[in-house]
Structure 1
Amino acid sequence: MLNRCILLICFFCFYFSQAQYNLESGSKIQQDSLKRKEFIQHLGQGFFPTRFLDLDLRYLIKFNQYEGIRTGLGFVTNNKFSERYRINSYLVYGFRDHRFKYSIGGGFRLSKSTNTWINLAYTDDLQETGSTKFITDGRFFQFFEPRLLNIDLFHKHITKKISLEHELHNTLIFESEFATSKIEPTYAYTFNINEDSFTNFDISYTKLALNWNPFNKIINQSNNKSTIKQGYPKITLQYTKSFKDVLKSDFNFSKIDFKSIFRLGKTSKSFSEITLVSGIANGETPLTHLYHAYPNNITKETILQRFSVAGLTSFETMYFNEFFSDKFITLQFKYFLKPFEISQHFKPQVVLISRYAIGDMQHPEQHEYINFDTLNRGYTESGFELNKLFFGFGLSFTYRYGAYHLPNISDNVALKFTFNVSL
């Protein structure tokens, strides 16, 4: 099933990469060129535009170890429907857990000049345990998210939320939300706190987030602001606070999360990229809201059995559910060599990679029926990628060493596909 799903996803990736090539090699007529550019911009943001609705491509097809194939459809209304109001929703179905998931939401704009919106949403879905979502990241999109293929640790949540979006400046976005969630892990888990045991729980929380892109270049296009060139660094800061006894919430805890991306050099030549992610949780924090370090390795005996697709910022030799922390820092360094211009359409590129993670957990004994380690000794892996060998596909090799080096040499090796395509 997994192999067939990978082939299906690869087909969609091949389709989009071919569509990009056909568009770029088409007519040079100015009107067609403008339409093509607008269409590609919509695809790059994760939408397939129609007259009144933009179909959300994030929900088209995915795969994970709990749901199996997950497929469905989402949409958001566009400016032709209304410039003041919007409706967004999705409906998906998991073929392995035989369950529908959905979200119904909408919003209304308070100010056009600052792009200020008030949003409401009701969501019944799954979330990966230990993952942190920056609420400002909803503006970014990937056609292919390789980590999703192997994730098996999810918790169900029914979440009601109200949120605010506001542009303080062209390069500074503020978002906040207040939400209440009913959480039910899909795996055996008990959280012990203050002599009470919880197998499911309610959480009411607020989030405040800033996304700062000081060197982005902005232009006005069709009366809407659009980023035409990405600048660096990119910085995101988020604060989360859970309130006990507010709308039957069970816990008091707080989290501070930080992410920054730096790039040095020109993309047409060799350049370096550094990604720093960190987080700290204080208080009565269940495992569902703690941190993993973005692992992307499945627990199989041989290298070929673990062969899958490498992520963009994940630890390729770190096994799923191997580590959890209530405080952590990851640092990833990539050095992109200048592409080899073998022909007009064949320009493979070598990327040298090194990753480091360190973390800890104050009370691991509070989390029962699940075994994990902490990152207090520091985790390291290094390797390389050979990208864009065939329609965006390439290969990667990564090796795990240092304090968490495993006795069996082959268990420290990750050999995988890569996929890179830009719209």
Structure 2
Amino acid sequence: MNRIGLFLCLLLGLLTPGYAQQLYKGVVRDARTREPLAFVSLAVQGTKQGTLTDLDGRFQIKATAGQTLLVSYVGYQPRAVRLADEGDLLRIDLVPTVTQLSEVVVRPGENPAWAIVRNVLKNRSRNDPEAYSTYTCKTYNKSYYTIDNFVTDTSTEAYRNQVKRRPYSPMLMEAFTSQMHVWLKESVTEIRYQRPNQRKEIILATKSSFPGDFSMGITPTDFQPFGFYQEIIQLPIMERNYLNPIAEGTFSRYDFAIEDTLFHEHDSTYVLSFQPFPNKHFEGLKGVVYINTDGYAIENIIAMPADTNQKVWFRVQQQYQRLGGRWFPDWLQTDLKMPLAKSSTKLDVLIRNRSQVTEVQINPILPMKSFDHLTREQRPGAASTPDSVWQRLRADSLDHRERASYAMWDSLPQLRRIGRFLHGFSDVMQVLTTGTLEGGAVDLVVADLLRWNQYEGTRLGLGVQLTPPPLPWAKLYGYAAFGTADKALKYGGSLEANLLPRRDLRLGVSYRQDIAEPGQLTSLSQSLIVLGRPQPRNWLRSRMDSVQAWRVDGYFRPLPHVQLNLYGWREYRQVTSYPYQFSVESVNPHRFYNSELGLNVRIAPREQMQKAGKLETILAGSFPIVDVQVAIGIPALGGQFTYTKTVVQVDDEVVSKALGTSRFRLLGGWLNGTVPYPYLFGAPGSSAGGNGFYYYSPNTFQTMGLYEFASDRFAYLFWEHNFGRLLFRLKTKYSQPEISVSQHVGFGQLSNRKPHEPLVFRTLEKGYYESGLSVYNLLRFPFMQSLYMGLGGSVFRRWGPNQFPLARDNYAYRLTVTLSI
């Protein structure tokens, strides 16, 4: 063809728009709710050209006018859209089918989807981010709390009275339902990871629409796992575990169906739906997973709870990106919906967290200084990042409602009352996570305000801590308390210097004039954990000593998850309220001087800690946790007793896909030397006598008296296995029994009993055995419409050589109260 002919052909092509490709953009939505649909398949008919929508339902695709766009999505009727000449924004609405997922069917032979899932499991180690040696990335996170599906009956008297009391309430609801979000939160984090347990999240910038926010920076791991390959999918914000459909043994639990196959230029994507088989009693998920044949990796996944009785609904959506032959999270989004109702008003609280992952590096070399004991740390000044910097940090711009969420809290005077409520809520969250309430220069220690036990009665007190302005590395603490039953004043204080924060190197000195229960163990775990299961045994304590003590402590972390505490103390202790005398020559039978040097070691390889400002708290306590104490009595420091002591405590939890969760505590101790009763090991009993109902006190013998046994060497095992709802599941939402079995065992001996007479206590040479059966959530009642309050009970039986002659005396009954979704 000559040049003139070639020119005419090119000109004809330019003048024939019907055959020229152009870029079509659009959005796919649910036809009924108008909600955008993520990961919808769009393909140009007759070609291998196709794409998927993003998390906002948006797409763009090149095609020629006149061609047909085939749109398909699991749970929706497919559509064919003929493309017009104009490249206007396409709005495609899909109509849901009657059933959101395919019915479970019995197929002849093997399910064809199984071969695909087997390949995913085979390649899990090369596609799971947690299986990489190291990685680093940054995330931009945006979370909002908003009101959805608001309905109120304006004809009721309750509504009229509300408007009469608060004329501005209709305006406020209009603002919250259509103009702004109740709470908008943004953060930018840097994430470092090193297999198996080293993780560091640095909050570089954080911004909240509400000034009193104590939630710190939001990160993806608060709402969903960073990757969807774990055997157990843990949702920290839900406090519930779900069995992953992409896990070993899944074919006996989940049904899979091939819904679609998307063809690309070099690979293809299988679209599989999944849901639990009928009558399977486990916490399961349902949804859709997209498997790319390049490495048989998860490309996209949508998962939600299969339990329709669950009060709090959620949906997890994850999108992955291909990086040099590997796959890594790209976008993460979790939606949670909690229903609330009051009289004639109903609404849903919708929480959405979205994270974009950028600047990913896989298997970089990370120096040891990249990690320390803090899993999450907020950089100084992160909360004061200027708006000009946020314009650059955001993955996408804020929409009108999001911008209004920042502006309207300050511009609407009617929001101030709600603002005060949210300030109070933020203060409560701070108390729950740190045990303190910030008051500017002085922080209030909430645990010191009010306590109760049988010896002191009501203990009223005040505890404060502060950092002196000239000494930013120091912390001062002081307290005073008074018991209404013992009529005694207690007080104490401490000074601590943080010399090397990255290694948690601290030195402290303290003094206290207080009371102490005899025979109690101490460990670093007890001093670190602020939150945890309540210990009702503390309310029953009736035997106390008066103690005056000086103590010096040094703390250090040689490794991020290993903490050392070298200590020394000297105390004067006096027996007060129980008939005891120590029958040893040259020692007062009721008053003792003792001094001790010791080393505490705590190992918690999976524990997560956070720091914001001057507050440092445990973000998540993960097992195993090992506590070791080695100590010696030193008469040269003013004490009267020579001894050596070793105590070991191991806490662990094992989660089984098929059997539930086992949690156990193993303790052992050995003391060599003759010491008074207060320094022996008291067995942890929690029965105050009688057969009435009491609250369950974890890691104690429920049928054993508080001061029934003592020893100078011991071994205890506390084991509880919760089957959850794996054994059976009722169809009614008002009763969802969870069965738990317990076994507690104790051994102990005392080398020399004579010095402790006439005090009556027993030893455990022949062993102590206790078995229990618990039923949680036997009855469930809606609580605030978004949760269930569950009532249940436990029964424990004492058996073996130390059981009582009367059968009824060997039983203990406990009441259990739980909150669940």
TM-score range, shorter chain: 0.7 to 0.9
45-54 vs 120-129, which moves further: 45-54
Task: Please state how far the C-alpha of 1:127 moved relative to its aligned partner.
Answer: 1.0
Task: Please state how far the C-alpha of 1:64 moved relative to its aligned partner.
Answer: 1.7
Indicate if the aligned counterparts of 1:179 and 1:205 stay in contact, CA closer than 8 A: yes
Q: Give the root-mean-square deviation of aligned CA atoms.
A: 3.2
347-356 vs 223-232, which moves further: 223-232
CA distance in 1, matches of 2:673, 2:556: 30
Residue pairs, 1:21-420, within 5 angstroms? 27-30=182-185, 31=208, 35-38=213-216, 40=429, 42-77=431-466, 83-142=472-531, 144-186=534-576, 187-194=578-585, 196=587, 198-217=589-608, 227-247=618-638, 249-265=639-655, 270-300=660-690, 303-304=691-692, 307-338=693-724, 349-387=738-776, 391=789, 394-418=792-816
CA distance in 1, matches of 2:617, 2:448: 24
Q: Tell me which of the two structures has the higher relative contact order, counting C-alpha pairs closer than 8 angstroms and 6 or more residues apart.
A: 1
Consecutive unaligned residues in structure 2, runs of 5 or more: 1-144, 148-180, 186-207, 217-425, 782-788
Task: Please state how far the C-alpha of 1:404 moved relative to its aligned partner.
Answer: 1.1
- Code of the aligned partner of 2:213: K
- Code of the aligned partner of 1:35: D
CA distance in 2, matches of 1:211, 1:58: 24
CA distance in 2, matches of 1:127, 1:418: 29
Task: Please state how far the C-alpha of 1:346 moved relative to its aligned partner.
Answer: 8.7
Q: Secondary structure in 2 aligned to 1:366?
A: helix
1:14 matched residue in structure 2 = none
Indicate if the aligned counterparts of 1:108 and 1:117 stay in contact, CA closer than 8 A: yes
Indicate if the aligned counterparts of 2:747 and 2:767 stay in contact, CA closer than 8 A: yes
- Structure 1 residues 80 and 138 mapped into 2: Cα distance closer, same or farther (>3 Å)? farther
- Structure 1 residues 238 and 310 mapped into 2: Cα distance closer, same or farther (>3 Å)? same
Task: Please state how far the C-alpha of 1:184 moved relative to its aligned partner.
Answer: 0.3
TM-score by length of 2: 0.45
The percentage of counterpart residues that share the same residue type is 21
Indicate if the aligned counterparts of 1:53 and 1:77 stay in contact, CA closer than 8 A: yes
CA distance in 1, matches of 2:521, 2:775: 29
Q: Secondary structure in 1 aligned to 2:695?
A: coil
- Structure 1 residues 195 and 98 mapped into 2: Cα distance closer, same or farther (>3 Å)? closer
195-204 vs 62-71, which moves further: 195-204
CA distance in 2, matches of 1:129, 1:178: 19
Indicate if the aligned counterparts of 1:268 and 1:338 stay in contact, CA closer than 8 A: no
Task: Please state how far the C-alpha of 1:74 moved relative to its aligned partner.
Answer: 1.7
Consecutive unaligned residues in structure 1, runs of 5 or more: 1-22
CA distance in 2, matches of 1:73, 1:347: 43
CA distance in 1, matches of 2:709, 2:775: 28
Indicate if the aligned counterparts of 2:453 and 2:541 stay in contact, CA closer than 8 A: yes
Q: Secondary structure in 1 aligned to 2:215?
A: helix
Task: Please state how far the C-alpha of 1:267 moved relative to its aligned partner.
Answer: 10
- Structure 1 residues 56 and 397 mapped into 2: Cα distance closer, same or farther (>3 Å)? farther
CA distance in 1, matches of 2:611, 2:640: 46
Indicate if the aligned counterparts of 2:713 and 2:748 stay in contact, CA closer than 8 A: yes
Task: Please state how far the C-alpha of 1:323 moved relative to its aligned partner.
Answer: 0.6
Indicate if the aligned counterparts of 1:298 and 1:320 stay in contact, CA closer than 8 A: yes
Post-superposition Cα deviations, 1:142-171, rounded to whole Å, max 9, x if no partner, equal: 474300121111111100111112122221
Task: Please state how far the C-alpha of 1:85 moved relative to its aligned partner.
Answer: 0.9
CA distance in 2, matches of 1:312, 1:419: 14
Task: Please state how far the C-alpha of 1:326 moved relative to its aligned partner.
Answer: 0.5
Indicate if the aligned counterparts of 1:392 and 1:421 stay in contact, CA closer than 8 A: yes
- Structure 1 residues 197 and 225 mapped into 2: Cα distance closer, same or farther (>3 Å)? closer
The size of the alignment, in residue pairs, is: 395
Indicate if the aligned counterparts of 1:332 and 1:354 stay in contact, CA closer than 8 A: yes
Task: Please state how far the C-alpha of 1:281 moved relative to its aligned partner.
Answer: 0.9
Task: Please state how far the C-alpha of 1:28 moved relative to its aligned partner.
Answer: 4.3
CA distance in 2, matches of 1:341, 1:86: 54
- Structure 1 residues 223 and 323 mapped into 2: Cα distance closer, same or farther (>3 Å)? closer
Task: Please state how far the C-alpha of 1:284 moved relative to its aligned partner.
Answer: 2.1
Task: Please state how far the C-alpha of 1:288 moved relative to its aligned partner.
Answer: 0.3
Post-superposition Cα deviations, 1:91-121, rounded to whole Å, max 9, x if no partner, equal: 1111111011111111111112212111111
- Structure 1 residues 238 and 420 mapped into 2: Cα distance closer, same or farther (>3 Å)? farther
Task: Please state how far the C-alpha of 1:196 moved relative to its aligned partner.
Answer: 4.9
Task: Please state how far the C-alpha of 1:350 moved relative to its aligned partner.
Answer: 3.5
Structure index of larger Rg: 2
CA distance in 2, matches of 1:410, 1:394: 21
Task: Please state how far the C-alpha of 1:188 moved relative to its aligned partner.
Answer: 2.2
